[in-house]
Amino acid sequence: MDARLDYFASPTAGKVLKHFMSAGRTLKESPLPAATQELVALRVSQINGCAVCIDMHTKEAASAGETPVRLNLVAAWREAAVFTEAERAALALAEEGTRVADAAGGVSDEVWAHAAEHYDEEQLTALVVLVSFMNTANRLNIITRQPAGDYEPGRFR
């Protein structure tokens, strides 16, 4: 599969993506736990069907020490006993934040309150921005049909 276009080669898109990637690095430095960030990024990408991001975040998480069992169970996290309550709250928020068109009013008060039980305001802010960031990244990759499979951990650090 070939990409429809190389948006890094476009002067306009290149400028935008430079800032976009900088925002991603800033998110990595946030107080939201790194493992939670990778699990959320992976789950959002699974929902959207973004192979590039699934490849990237699976490999990044594994490189950081995440277990294959947990990575394999992200898609079925509700039925899996390997996630903490805080991670479950983040995954629920990520799902509802990604599927905003499916529910009137977007993220439910129940899901928000559960996340707020586990994360302080700065972490919640990072979580919300991460969900939005990943949805944007997924759409950029899906629209332009970016091929997946060759990602090397650490490429965008």
Element housing 6 (H / E): none
What CA–CA distance (Å, rounded) separates 116 from 121?
Answer: 8
For the chain, the domains span 11-143
User: Quick check: 15 pLDDT over 90?
Assistant: no
Q: Where are the alpha helices (DSSP H) in 1-98?
A: 11-28, 34-48, 51-63, 68-73, 85-98
Neighbours of 80 (CB within 10 A): 14
pTM above 0.85, yes or no: yes
Q: How far apart are CA 44 and CA 139, in angstroms?
A: 11
Condensed to tens digits (0 to 9), the pLDDT of residues 92-124 reads 999 999 998 887 778 999 999 999 999 999 999
Q: Round to whole Å and give the CA distance between 48 and 75.
A: 12
Helix, strand, coil % in the chain, rounded to nearest 5: 70, 0, 30
CATH 1.20.1290.10 fits 11-143, yes or no: yes
Please check the confidence at residue 138 and state whether its pLDDT lies above 70: yes
